[in-house]
Amino acid sequence: MSIEVLRRSVNTGLQFNDSVHPLIQKIYKQRTISDADELELGLNNLLTPDKLMGIGDAVELLMIALEQQQRVLIVADFDADGATSCVVAINCLKQFGLKQIDYVVPNRFEFGYGLTPEIVELGRLKNPDLIITVDNGISSVAGVECANAAGIAVLITDHHIAPSHLPAAQAILNPNQPGCEFPSKCIAGVGVTFYLMLALRSHLRSLNWFEKSNLEEPNLANQLDLVALGTIADVVALDRNNRILVDEGVKRIRAGKARPGIEALLKVSNREANRLKASDIGYSLAPRLNAAGRLEDMSVGIECLLSESENEAYHYALSLDGINRDRKKIEADMREQAWEALDEISMKIEDLPPGICLFDDRWHQGVVGIIASRIKDKFHRPSIAFAQVDGSEELKGSARSVKGFHIRDALDQVATKNPGLINKFGGHAMAAGLSLNKNDFEAFDHAFTEEVGRLLDEDQLKARVFSDGWVEAKWLNLQVAYLIEEAGPWGQEFPEPLFDGRFNLVQHRKVGENHLKMMLSPTDDPSGTLDAIAFNVEAGHWPDQNSSEIEIIYRIETNHFQGNTSLQLVVEHILSIR
């Protein structure tokens, strides 16, 4: 697939002092910030909870629970954001003095997503006085009705887009509910939970609760390793507030202040805490945690993060690592089946439909989200992958979108124009989930493709890479690599810098199954050489022995190997080889 390279626009109004490296200045001027002050992180710049709509009602509910020592049940989502949210809530409420607190994670294969009536019935076995949802609940109208009928109060904490009809919960905390003025709309579920605990602690402090209860006032900064993990894992946009939360959490992990569960996940991932980057959490820790919710039961991940014993945490982390290996094998098989199916549709990418829907009765419903993401990345089209629910005629689908196409709104349009076609759906701009009857798959495929074709033009279906530009040879050094690492944290909507350039291809060889290891020299300084590597190079993108020049999109990174640190260019795309 051909890639169009676009240079990021520069905000010339941003001004920096001379102590900031020229390349770092250039990178910052090409990010979505309007003022240099937005780059100042630190907890003193964190937004306060007071603008969160419903925060007073939520704190009041928790105060009643503490004063009356009620039984509290956490209902968590089955991904890393839900798991970290659950652990933050349990840790803090216990430290605030609550004695009876438990949790349940809906098994996605039995109960589906959110606070369903079935989950309420399951939760009633624990006889709770209060249910707290974390990272879910904003769409759980029927579940909340069931809880109300049973005399169980419900506190919803969520961050997903609110439906037109909200549940009748006693309190709702969600920055994306109508009327909420909290500025950070992209905060993760774990961030919402953390803010609730900040507000509750502040209220308890005003009542001298900790002194009266003979409790040590907890330092909630100790929860930031969890907040960073959940925020990165949920791939939310890193606005300033989220960057503060992630930055502080990563710093704590680097300083050796992470909980045993995160230390154990680092160990099984072969990552060193003192060199941790946000991307390491996204590519190494989060998948191992998410694998439990995809294939088995997220309670394994929650217990890992709750563990206070290093040995116990490592036991759970090993289990998560094994589940993740199983997930990789399942994903690899499903990916090959997806490519085969798409090859049957068309041999040319440009001839594929604007929206891609695939269903295979061999597919695992916990992994279809990853497959949809892989299809979207490879073919640059809104994509939905479906699996069949065991023992039924229902399909569950996971959707992923390209930039500029709101996938949840598109599903809403399909449902409105075709009543009864979709059983249920939910999500946000870039990802969504849905279910429908197996017999309706072809009709849905047609309706979805038609809707994508109506809303997207050909230009939006082109694969584009946004580059931070060309880098002078004098800046391709280890010092600049360190500066780029420290200039983050990088992530969604605050992307890690990518550069484009043409280099002399001095040497190249194959490493592993299909990785290309190269020695390059800048065309403006042929005397210098640079190590570079391109991972998972596809057939047709390999240089031959006569190749002397290569054009690439790359990242500047530090490479740690056998106790040595060196500069390495990590090649994201090979544009041309001569």
List of long-range contacts for 106-110, beta carbons under 8 Å, 24+ apart: 106/75, 106/77, 106/78, 107/78, 107/297, 108/78, 108/293, 108/365, 108/366, 109/365, 109/366, 109/389, 109/390
Domain C-terminal end among 429, 461, 493: 461
Closest CA to 83 of 259, 219, 233: 233
Asked whether residue 102 falls in the same domain as residue 194, the answer is yes
The pLDDT assigned to 350 comes to 67
Residue 484, classed as helix, strand or coil, is helix
Asked whether residue 184 falls in the same domain as residue 80, the answer is yes
Q: How far is CA 415 from CA 422, 448, 469, 475, in A?
A: 6, 10, 43, 53
The pLDDT assigned to 428 comes to 78
* pLDDT of residue 107 exceeding 80: no
* pLDDT of residue 87 exceeding 90: yes
Asked whether residue 25 falls in the same domain as residue 134, the answer is no
Asked whether residue 99 falls in the same domain as residue 211, the answer is yes
Residue 423, classed as helix, strand or coil, is coil
Domain C-terminal end among 414, 441, 461: 461
The pLDDT assigned to 538 comes to 83
Tell me whether residue 303 is in a domain: no
**109-123, 202-216, 258-272: range with lowest mean pLDDT:** 109-123
Distance CA 451, CA 327 (A): 32
CATH number, residue 548: 2.40.50.460
Tell me whether residue 552 is in a domain: yes
Tell me whether residue 230 is in a domain: no
* Structure token digits, residue 570: 């990590």
Tell me whether residue 232 is in a domain: no
Average pLDDT over residues 155-174: 95
pTM (two decimals):
0.93
List the domain range (segments joined by +) for residue 174: 45-220
Tell me whether residue 308 is in a domain: no
Distance CA 261, CA 267 (A): 10
Q: Is-contact 147 129, C-beta < 8 A?
A: no
Asked whether residue 421 falls in the same domain as residue 544, the answer is no
* pLDDT of residue 379 exceeding 70: yes
Asked whether residue 12 falls in the same domain as residue 59, the answer is no
Average pLDDT over residues 537-560: 91
The pLDDT assigned to 1 comes to 58
Q: Is-contact 218 98, C-beta < 8 A?
A: no
Torsion of the alpha carbons at 181, 487, 491 and 31, rounded to the nearest 10: 70
Query: What count of other Cβ atoms lies within 10 Å of the Cβ of residue 116?
Result: 18
Asked whether residue 27 falls in the same domain as residue 49, the answer is no
* Number of domains into which the chain is organized: 3
Asked whether residue 368 falls in the same domain as residue 482, the answer is no
Q: Give 384 or 459, the one with higher predicted confidence.
A: 384
Asked whether residue 70 falls in the same domain as residue 205, the answer is yes
* pLDDT of residue 180 exceeding 60: yes
Average pLDDT over residues 93-116: 88
Domain C-terminal end among 419, 439, 461: 461
* pLDDT of residue 307 exceeding 80: yes
Q: Which amino acid is residue 217, in one-letter code?
A: E
Average pLDDT over residues 72-87: 96
Tell me whether residue 280 is in a domain: no
Asked whether residue 457 falls in the same domain as residue 469, the answer is no
Q: Which residues contact 559 (CB under 8 A, 6 or more apart)?
A: 531, 565, 566, 567, 568
Tell me whether residue 331 is in a domain: no
Average pLDDT over residues 327-338: 95
Asked whether residue 102 falls in the same domain as residue 207, the answer is yes
46 confidence band (pLDDT: 50, 70, 90): very high
Asked whether residue 457 falls in the same domain as residue 396, the answer is yes
348 confidence band (pLDDT: 50, 70, 90): low
* pLDDT of residue 347 exceeding 60: no
Tell me whether residue 500 is in a domain: yes
* Share of residues in the chain with pLDDT > 90 (%): 83
CATH number, residue 375: 3.10.310.30
The pLDDT assigned to 314 comes to 98
pLDDT tens by residue, 461-511: 888 899 999 999 999 999 999 999 999 999 999 999 999 999 999 999 999
